[in-house]
Amino acid sequence: MDNYLIAMATIACVYGLMTVSLNLSWGVTGMVNLGIAGFFGIGAYTSALLTTRLGWPVVAGVASAMVAGALVGAVLSIATLRLRDDYLAIVTLGFAEIVRLVALNELWLTNGSDGISGIPAPIPRGYGYGFSLAFLALIAALLALAAWSASRLQRSPYGRVLRAIRDDADVTAVAGKDVVRFKLKTFALSTAIAGAAGAMYGHYTSFVAPDLFAPLLTIYIFLALTIGGTGNVKGAVLGAFVLIAILEGSRYSAAFLPELSAVQQSAVREMVVAALFLLCLRFRPRGLVPERMGAAGE
């Protein structure tokens, strides 16, 4: 396989972890997380700092990134879950910006806009092509594990409660379910997965910086999940790959428009993404792989 394609598939897997995460919180449970990029950043920096400064092994770094993502997610959701649903969206949106600004300004810890470089990989980079393939296999396995778990959870009685909460949280409480607890655990699990995505990204590229998790990243994840199909794990993963294909594929559109400058061409690329998204909303409003009903207990 071409090195470029391997790299794109790897990035698509990183995005896939984030769409699986968003599907769990928003797609299945109805909790809007506008701070995906922030949790990605928390994970990326946690693992990057622990492995470069303290010399922790990569596995421990990624695990810590997940724990950090879960803890921060739990704190944010505890603070907002008893309020109206939209508060979580507002708080997570603000949180992601705070993470980015802290990463940008706390030079002693994060090295500011220069970022952290020299992040170790779980496989020696010296293997070149072998490294790329092995890393792809690793992240694909991680994505498969996350998707399998999320899918199993969604089809289980646990997931039935989540889908009930999405429809009517008050009635779910009358059904005897501790709604706050379900939301809290589910949100923490989803932000742990987003943290893992950030950590793996850092270990893949060996470099993290604050501009990696600008708000646009969160928007891309919402786009990917909407294209793929909210409430469906297969749709979530497919959406991530479609998004990367569109983002990367539209690079080649530049060749057909040689009279445009580079800046204009990158704007055209955003327009192509937007147009495809609109087409998707018009013709496949429930996504490429729509949610199936009545899947619990199968």
Partner 1 sequence: MARGAPLLEVSDVARAFYGLRALTGVSFGVRQGTITGLIGPNGAGKTTLFNVISGMLRADAGRVTFAGWDATNRAPHLISRAGLVRSFQIARGFPRLTVRENLMLYARDNPGERMSRALLWNAKTRQAEREIGARAAAVADRLGLRAVLDNPASALSGGQKKLLEIGRTMMASPSMILLDEPAAGVNPSLTRTIAGHVRALADEGMTVLIIEHDMTLVRELCDPVIVMTEGRTLVEGTFAAVAGDARVQEAYLGKKQWH
- Interface with partner 1 (CB under 8 A): 149, 152-153, 156-161, 163-164, 166-168, 170-179, 185, 189, 293-294, 296-297
Using the minimum distance from each CB to partner 1, give the nearer residue, 100 or 163. Answer: 163
CB of 213 to partner 1, least distance (A): 27
Spell 191-229 as b/e; 16+ CB within 10 A means b.
bbbbbbbbbbbbbbbebbbbebbebebbebbbbbbbbbb
Nearest distance from C-beta of residue 231 to partner 1, angstroms:
9
Which of 55/294 has CB closer to partner 1? 294
Token pair 């996350």 in the structure block, residue: 146
Decide whether 99 or 164 has the Cβ nearer to partner 1.
164
Q: Which is nearer to partner 1, 214 or 296 (CB)?
A: 296
Minimum distance between the CB of residue 183 and partner 1, rounded to whole angstroms?
12
d(CA 229, CA 237): 9
- Residue 131 or residue 158: which is nearer to partner 1 going by CB? 158
Q: Which candidate, 166, 181, 286, 271, places its Cα nearest to that of 226? A: 286
CB of 229 to partner 1, least distance (A): 14
- Shorter beta-carbon distance to partner 1: residue 47 or 172: 172
Q: How far is the CB of 145 from partner 1 (least distance, A)?
A: 11
CB burial of residue 252 (10 Å; 0-12, 13-18, 19+): exposed
227 residue type, one letter: I
CB of 34 to partner 1, least distance (A): 23
Closer CB to partner 1, 156 or 266, in the complex:
156
Burial grade of 58 (CB within 10 A; 0-12, 13-18, 19 or more): buried
Distance CA 245, CA 193 (A): 22
Q: What's the angle, vertex CA 221, arms to CA 112 and CA 97, rounded to 5?
A: 35
Q: Is 1 exposed, middle or buried (0-12, 13-18, 19+ CB in 10 A)?
A: exposed
In angstroms, give the least distance from the CB of 222 to partner 1: 20
